[in-house]
Structure 1
């Protein structure tokens, strides 16, 4: 599922002024955008199902599929964040990144 093993971006968490930015490779960015485009289409499809009074169980199954797809995007993003931004900031002596990471992970798994 994660065909991007070994890809590293040299400055994932650069600070541009006071705004932090990620720098994903084009391959990773395209993969994320493609997945999000499919999810967007699925959400529009669920809206149509509800408008057509589709049986609730069928709609709920589609919602479950969307949640799973979003989790996949989150896992991909988290993996890249850990392999680049988090490691980079720890190497720079910024241990605050661990607190930030724990808060984010708690949000992802609730």
Structure 2
């Protein structure tokens, strides 16, 4: 399944991933500095949420795109079922 993110979708996902990247860098720095455990876990939790939200945005876009093929016509029942199963597996991997 190829996923094409366009414009605002791509910008939103990239922003979330960059935010998570910054938060993970912050967690590493906090650990190296011997910061309080509660602060480290709070920052780590924020990074995890940012990654989850990016993943959910990608899956939501995939759901939208996979319901139709490149010509805008409905996909076959077999293809739809296979795609549904794959997207369900992706969704559950984030849950």
TM-score interval, smaller chain: 0.7 to 0.9
Residue ranges of structure 2 left out of the alignment (5+ in a row): none
- Which residue of the partner structure matches residue 88 of structure 1? 68
TM-score, normalization by structure 1: 0.72
CA distance in structure 1 between the partners assigned to 2:92 and 2:17 by the alignment: 22
- Which residue of the partner structure matches residue 101 of structure 1? 87
Question: Between Structure 1 and Structure 2, which shows a larger proportion of helix residues?
Answer: 2
Q: 1:101 to 1:21 in 2, by over 3 A?
A: closer
> Given the alignment of the two structures, is residue 45 of structure 1 paired with residue 31 of structure 2, yes or no?
no
Match 1:73 to one of 36, 54, 58? 54
> After the TM superposition, which parts of structure 1 deviate over 3 Å for at least 4 consecutive aligned residues?
none
CA distance in structure 2 between the partners assigned to 1:30 and 1:41 by the alignment: 16
Tell me the secondary structure at the aligned position of residue 28 of structure 1: helix
Mapping for residues 18-33 of structure 1, pairs under 5 Å: 20-33=1-14
Question: Between Structure 1 and Structure 2, which shows a larger proportion of strand residues?
Answer: 1
Residue ranges of structure 1 left out of the alignment (5+ in a row): 1-19
For these two proteins, the number of residue pairs brought into alignment is 89
Residue 99 of structure 1 deviates from its aligned partner by 1.6
1:83-102 deviations in Å (ceiling 9; x for gaps): 112x1259211121122122
Root mean square deviation of aligned Cα: 1.7
TM-score, normalization by structure 2: 0.82
